[in-house]
Copies of this chain bind each other. A is one copy, B any other.
């Protein structure tokens, strides 16, 4: 399995970041101040814009040693030699992704309940995204909210590295770590914040302070 520090996982939102340029600026500042993974997610975009933005993000993140994960679009990930992809349950299956990407790329899988967790192909993927932990406004097709008690039981059951995702804001990250997650994935807790560096540092401090 490929190692990846999942502590603070930023999922970029095109609207909250004010477009592609804002996404690259947000990612750069966030990676300089403690974000450990960056995911490009822009379901409304055409692929030319995915490609251009992924290339710009990779150029910004590679010197900082922060991996770039591409949501869903395996062709874009291949085109820019991204660190990996993140797949939802309705995206291409992990077996197809692994075949196309080869053994060295990260593959993450979104799971929202115990059944999806049990069905996750452990030999094909590298980490899990589990959520939504809290209610979220940044994903139109989000699954039902899990809540912290159920999230903790999913964390106890999983055997792969996992991040909690969904509505995690400053002040809500510590409980996710205490529930057993390796890290937290955030969107609006960083994207669109007036002080991105400060927001990242505070989140990272909250996460590290909550470790067992």
Q: Which residues of A contact B (CB under 8 A)?
A: 46-49, 51, 72-76, 78-79, 88-93, 96, 99-100
Docked Cα-Cα span, A99 to B51, in Å, equals 14
Contact partner, A47, options B46, B78, B92, Cβ 8 Å? B92
CA distance A78 to B99 in the complex (A): 10
Measured CA separation A96–B55 after assembly (Å)? 13
* Chain A facing B: main interface SS: helix
B79 touches A96 (CB 8 A): yes
> CA–CA, A79 to B90, complex, Å?
15
Which partner residue on chain B sits nearest A72 by CB separation? Answer: B47
Partner of A76, one of B88, B90, B92: B92
Q: Once the chains bind, are B96 and A46 in contact (CB under 8 Å)?
A: no
Residue of B nearest to A48 (CB): B90
Q: Which residues of B contact A100 (CB under 8 A)?
A: 75, 78-79
Name which of A46, A47, A89 has the most chain B CB atoms within 10 A of its CB: A47
Q: Chain B residues near A88 (CB, 8 Å)?
A: 46
B91 touches A48 (CB 8 A): yes
In angstroms, how far is the closest chain B Cβ from the Cβ of A27? 21
A96 with B51: CB separation less than 8 A: yes
**Contact between chains at A51 and B90 (CB < 8 Å):** no
**Smallest Cβ-Cβ distance to A73: which chain B residue:** B75
Can you list 11 residue pairs at the A/B interface with Cβ under 8 Å?
Answer: A46-B88, A47-B92, A48-B89, A48-B90, A48-B91, A48-B92, A49-B90, A51-B93, A76-B92, A79-B92, A79-B99
Assembly CA distance A49 to B92 (angstroms): 9
Residues of B within 8 A of A48 (CB): 89-93
* C-alpha spacing A59/B90, complex, angstroms: 22
